[in-house]
Amino acid sequence: MELQLLNTLRDHNPIVFNIANFVTVQDVANGLNALGASPIMSAEVQEAETMVQIAGAVCINLGTLTTTQIDQMRVVGKLANQYHKPVVLDPVAVGAVPYRKEVALGLLSDFQVDVIRGNAGEIAALAGMDWQAKGIDAGSGQGDLVEIAQACAQQFQCCVILSGPTDVITDGQRVVKVANGTPLFQRHVGSGDLLSSIVAAFTAVSSTDVYQAAQVACLVLAGAGELVASQLTADRPATFAIDLIDRLSLVTVSEIQTIAKVD
């Protein structure tokens, strides 16, 4: 895996344009900033073209969608395709809310995305497979996570990250698994949103190889979280979230390499 992309990202400080949700927007902005990217959030369609032009990549998050925002997402996605800017889609809760699934499928037919990043419940829903998603969380289901991720990637002709205790990254054929992380990620709302935006940041510096960018993003975030958890003596979700921001800023390629569990 090309972990040197972390240094490339810090050297280039790419602008990442996020259509964020209102729950986790500041965590995402601060996480991107700490890592070495330059976040910008926008909810206004009138400035969509400028946003896409100045950005290195776009992350579209369905977390708190509105009809107005869906229109903005469609415009932004099409502009990103036109300007050849990578697009990451985070299909928050599409496994639990049929309306969201309908919206996500509509967007996926209106423009091409480069990466879909979701938990098992979300990726299974988009792939048309049975799963008991629970709100924003993965929920419970039975099935081969690799097969589910590959089916989703093949259906939408893109890279898919099915995140969880082990992140499964696939382009539809090839598969890489990242087993780093900590259960503390699940105790902090917004971990998945941050991952999706970090994926966008890495695609901004590796637009010709989004599969590689997706792998590095998963390993850097999961590795940073694992390093934070190894220093905590108790179950402290709030401390974890704060320390994660610091660690994203400080973590080095060699620290990540030392703990990497990549298959």
Ligand X SMILES: Cc1ncsc1CCOP(=O)(O)O
Known binding positions for substrate: 41, 190
Q: Does 119 bind ligand ADP (CB under 6 A)?
A: yes
Provide the minimum distance between the beta carbon of 207 and Mg ion in the complex, in angstroms, as a whole number: 24
Report the nearest approach of ligand ADP to the CB of residue 138 (Å).
Answer: 6
Q: Does 165 engage in binding with ligand ADP (CB under 6 A)?
A: yes
Please, what's the largest Cα pairwise distance for the chain?
A: 49
Please name the residues in contact with 183: beta carbons below 8 A apart, sequence gap of 6 or more: 165
CB of 92 to ligand X, least distance (A): 5
State the residues that interact with ligand X by CB under 6 A: 21, 23-24, 63-64, 92, 136, 189-193
d(CA 227, CA 225) in angstroms, rounded, equals 5
d(CA 248, CA 203): 17
Which of ligand ADP, Mg ion, ligand X, none sits in contact with 203, Cβ below 5 to 8 A by type? none
CB-hemisphere CA count at 13 Å for 242?
5
Host H or E run for residue 162: strand 159-163
Question: Nearest-CA neighbor of 193 among 14, 15, 29, 13?
Answer: 29
Q: Nearer to Mg ion by C-beta: 78 or 188?
A: 188
Site for Mg ion (CB under 5 A): which residue of 31, 91, 190, 192? 192
Instruction: Report the residue closest to Mg ion, judged by CB.
Output: 192
Residue 175 Cβ vs ligand X, minimum distance, rounded to whole Å: 23
Tokens of 61: 């998050």
Nearest distance, CB of residue 59 and ligand ADP, angstroms = 13
Total binding residues for Mg ion by CB under 5 A? 2
Residue 204 near residue 216, CB atoms below 8 Å: no
CA distance 89 to 159: 11
CB 259 within 8 A of CB 180: yes
* Annotated binding-site positions for ATP: 117, 163
Helix (H) or strand (E) holding 34: helix 25-35
Identify what 152 binds: ligand X, Mg ion, ligand ADP, none; CB under 5 to 8 Å per kind. Answer: none
Residues 192-231 that bind ligand ADP (CB under 6 A): 192, 195, 221-222
Applying CB under 6 A, the residues found at the interface with ligand ADP are: 119, 137-138, 163-165, 167, 181-183, 185-186, 191-192, 195, 221-222
